[in-house]
Each structure stands twice: as C-alpha cells, then as structure tokens.
Amino acid sequence: MQPGAANRPFLPACRLARQPSDMTTPQDLIRSDVLAMTSYPVPDASGFVKLDAMENPFPLPADLAAKLGEHLAGVALNRYPAPRPEALLAKLKTALRVPADCDVLLGNGSDEIISMITMACAKPGAKVLAPVPGFVMYAMSAKFAQLDFVGVPLNADFTLDLDAMLAAIDEHKPAVIWLAYPNNPTGTLFDDADIERVIAAADAAGSLVVIDEAYQPFAQSSWLPRAGAFPNVVVMRTMSKLGLAGIRLGYLAGRAAWLDEFDKVRPPYNVNVLTQAAAAFLLDHLDVLDAQAAQLRAGRAQLAAEVAKLPGAEVFPSAGNFLLVRVPDAHAVFDTLLTARVLIKNVSKMHPLLANCVRLTVGTPDENAQLIAALKLVLK
C-alpha cells in the first residue's frame, strides 16, 4: 500500500476514470448533420378541425367497424407477424389490380418503403433526385442514408420542368428518381408524356424511377398497370389516404428483380399482425372506401370553388384530397384559423415557389364549412 493510502476516501472505479464533466453525451456520438436536424413536426390536433395531414375524415360505418373489431379479436397477439403474408399479398394483388408480372412488397406506411429503397441504393457517392417542392421524406431519407439529394424546381405553375429534369438526370445520373403522381404539396398530376421522357432518360442513365401514387384514389389515374412494362420503374402506394392512415400499410409493386433486393433491407417483422388482419378484412370492403373517396373528390371541387371566391385566394388545380392555395399572408391565415380551432398546413417556407401558400385538406362537408367560415375572417 502506498503511503497515506489508508487516509484517502474510497472512490469507485468509474469515478476515477471519468469526472461528470467528461460524461459521454449525444454530441459525442451522433452525426453532426443529425444533431442539426429537427424532428418531423406533428402538431397536437386535440380539439381542432384537423385539415393539415390529408387524412380521410370519414370513419368506417358503425356496423363495419364492429365486424372489424370482432375480426381483430381473433388475432394472435402473442405471435410475430408473417414477414411475407402470402394470403394478404394475394388478396391485395387481386383487389387493387396489381399486374400479373409485378411482385408486391409491404412496408410500415410508404415512409418505410422510401427508407428501404434509399438504404438499398446507398452506394458511396450515389444521389437521389426529385422535383421540388415535393414530399419531404425523399430528401430526409437521402440525408439519413448520407446521400446527396438533387432537387429540380418545378415550373411556376407547378408543372414538371422537363428540360431541367432531363438535364439533371444526365448530369447527376442519380440512383433513384422520385416522381409523386400527384405531387404533394402542390396537387399536380404531371403529364404522362413528360414522365415517359423521364423514364427513358433514367434508363439511359442507369436510374430507378419510383412513381409515388399515395393519392391515387383521388387522382383516378395510375401508372400501376404499366409498372412491369418498364425495366426501371416501380410504383409505390399507401392505404393511408384511402381511409386507413392508422394501420400504416404501404406497398411497392414492380418487377421481382427489384423487390427481391429491397426485401433484404426490410426489417423482419415490419408489418404487425393487427395491420395485416385489418388490411385483409377491409380489402373485402373496398366499395366503402371507394365511395368515401368519391365523396371527397366531389368535396374537393366544391371547396375549391368556395375558396376561389375569397379575396386574394389563388387555388391551384389538385388531383389529391387537398388544395394548395396562395394567399396574401400565409402566416396570418394560419394564425387566424388556429384561433378558430381549424388546423391547416402552412407550406410557405418549404420552397420559394410556395411563397404565401397554405395547404388545405378536404374534410367532411361540415369541416369544409367551418374552414370557409374561418378563412372569411382573414380574407376580406
């Protein structure tokens, strides 16, 4: 024993090794770009008319909801879900008319599918490309995978700038090109001939084109029937906008050669048993959801006409279940509606092309009436 050791207070080894000021913190380990990010914002909508997230506002009919509850009561919650639920996949292919030459891959919403595709294609130096403004998760997933994101601005009327797209594809030769059909947040349904030109240019550049049809129930136009006809195209959809946002089920359709590779980065039990069971049950009742989508399409036309009458409001054509509207002061409109307990999306800072724009989800007739009444308080 060293001289004087008996008089020293005992200190645990961890205290001797590190002082409190030296403790490991997130800043020591987390990537600097992640530290600089903010989390995806989802505001608390309790007590609000919720018109900010493009959800179907209609619940299931009571009798159908009761039958669904009985169906879900028989689910084996003690068992892991099937990684590839063949019966569900077969039913989905039939009910949603997936071409025979296409396979299907399921995801926890389309967000997870975006992540899987990006991760699988994340070779060093790879890039992803999309028109902007567009769905934010394309760029965010690229950042998570440490890939460069190339945004190609739309035209001022939110149509595809074809020349700029073709030039960007030729210059950057991206691994993945995202095309939202229709686009969020603009609601634009890009011209089919322009998309064909993009697909051809992508094929020459060695790029995969992912056509995102999240809002297909409201667009009534689709590339899914042609998904297998192109060697470099897959089509992504979600059950969320059809009225099942809560179950979080997205799917990707395309040639098996692509889907087999994306399946390798899929978490093994990514779609839970309740989601699988609910989807299998409700695919037998698509007529109910299709009728709700038809009602929302009619509501979209009525809402667009009413908003267009308001002073200073410019309503852009939309093939989604939402409207993009330019107003004199987006912040004033958002704040006024917030005070009136109506929640919308202020997209004015997302991109310069969206200056003073807000996005309005189409709601029930009563919700749309409350929205118009609130907008009249500020658009005078």
Domain boundaries, the chain: 77-284
What's CA 56's distance to the chain center, in Å? 14
Q: What angle do CA 325, 328, 329 make, to 5 degrees?
A: 95
Bridge partners of 45? none
H helices of 145-285, in order, are 162-172, 192-205, 216-219, 256-262, 273-282
- pLDDT per residue as tens digits for the range 235-278: 999 999 989 999 999 999 999 999 999 999 999 999 999 999 99
Tokens of 282: 């409700």
pLDDT for 328-375, tens place per residue? 999 999 999 999 999 999 999 999 999 999 999 999 999 999 999 999
Record the pTM.
0.91
Give the CB-side neighbour count of residue 241, counting CA atoms within 13 A: 28
Please calculate the CA angle 190-193-195 and round it to the nearest 5 degrees.
55
Number of H helices, E strands in the chain: 15, 13
Written as one letter, the residue type at 303 is L
Distance CA 277, CA 21 (A): 51
Q: Which amino acid is at 250?
A: G
Q: Which two tokens stand for residue 166?
A: 């073709």
Compute the mean pLDDT over every residue in the chain, rounded to the nearest whole number: 93
Whether 288 and 64 have beta carbons less than 8 Å apart is answered as: yes
One-letter identity of residue 142:
A
Token pair in block for residue 9: 């207070």
**Could you tell me the two tokens for 313?**
């409001």
pLDDT surpasses 90 at 284? yes
d(CA 245, CA 258): 26
pLDDT, residue 38, reads 84
Q: Is the pLDDT of residue 1 over 80?
A: no
Domain 77-284 has CATH 3.40.640.10: yes
What pLDDT score does 159 carry? Answer: 97
Which of 84, 54, 59 shows the shortest CA–CA distance to 214? Answer: 54
Question: Which tokens is 234 given?
Answer: 């897959």
- Residues 187, 323 contacting (CB under 8 angstroms): yes
- For residue 175, pLDDT over 80 is answered with yes
Is the model's pLDDT at 24 over the cut of 80? yes
Residue 16 has pLDDT above 60, yes or no: no
Give the pLDDT confidence of 54-72 residue by residue, as tens digits: 999 999 999 999 999 999 9
- Sequence-distant (6+) residues with CB within 8 A of 308 are 314, 315
Mean pLDDT, residues 116-141 taken together:
97
Q: Which whole-number Å values give the CA distances from 176 to 65, 129, 199, in the listed order?
A: 39, 6, 11
Under 8 Å between Cβ of 232 and 208: yes
What percent of the chain shows pLDDT beyond 90? 87
